[in-house]
Copies of this chain bind each other. A is one copy, B any other.
Amino acid sequence: MIRRTPQQPRERGIPDATVARLPLYLRALNGLAERAVATVSSEDLAVAAGVNSAKLRKDLSHLGSYGTRGVGYDVQYLIYQISRELGLTQDWAVAIVGVGNLGRALANYGGFVSRGFRVAGLLDADPEVVGDHIAGLVVEHSDELESVIAKRGVSIVVIATPATAAQAVCDRVIASGVTSILNFAPVVLTVPAGVDVRKVDLSIELQILAFHEQRKVNGGPAVVDEIMGEEWAGEVS
């Protein structure tokens, strides 16, 4: 019983930056709901979500005018509206390809099953791994990728294979009609227009931290004396 909203005047063009924050607001709202809070002001919600309150109000205004001046926002109603906007009122079948260290952790993770995401398939190329029972599922051979996607209506695929296999897996997944991919492998995936790839890259996050850490400690980049500093000195102006 899900159908398209008849005619919604706004709807078009919610900024990406806003979309990226909606899950944050949703989490904060769920926290409030658990503590039986009925309404919340933009100021309080902003603090809970760690953002500026004007930004929060502007973000929410993209969804519609759901607040009450002088009072704030109804927590339950806002949860519903944000969930609906994010597409969490329906559930999404997710397949995880590559059931190694990371794939297992993801499969066992309760955190996304809780919100509309259902792990509908675990696939791996290694015969040793195929057949393992993880989180109530049996790992299937990645040869079955296309049929698993088709049969179980998978619309989001998580890639947790080694970097070398990621592009090939990605190509097959797209050929099967999937257009939303979450990639953990440290490679830039090449995909046709219309396919969304989001990446999670731990190593990049650490490197960004290291950059700032270095500035805090030293005030800036260091040179390694007489090891490389001199060596390179001649090569460039």
Q: List residues of A whose CB falls within 8 A of some B CB.
A: 1-5, 8, 11, 19-20, 22-24, 26-28, 48-50, 65-66, 74, 77, 80, 84-90, 92, 94, 101-102, 104-106, 108-109, 111-112, 115-117, 155-156, 179-182, 186, 188, 190, 194, 196, 198, 200-214, 216-228, 232, 235-237
Contacts and interface: CB of A to CB of B under 8 A. Distances in A.
B50 A188 contact: yes
A237 B182 CA distance: 38
Nearest to A4: B218
Contacts of A156: 206, 209-210, 213
Nearest to A64: B236
Q: How many copies does the complex hold?
A: 2
5 contacts: A4-B222, A5-B221, A24-B188, A74-B235, A182-B206
A1 B224 contact: yes
Contact of A222 (B66, B90, B214, B221): B90
A235 B215 CA distance: 52
A213 B92 contact: yes
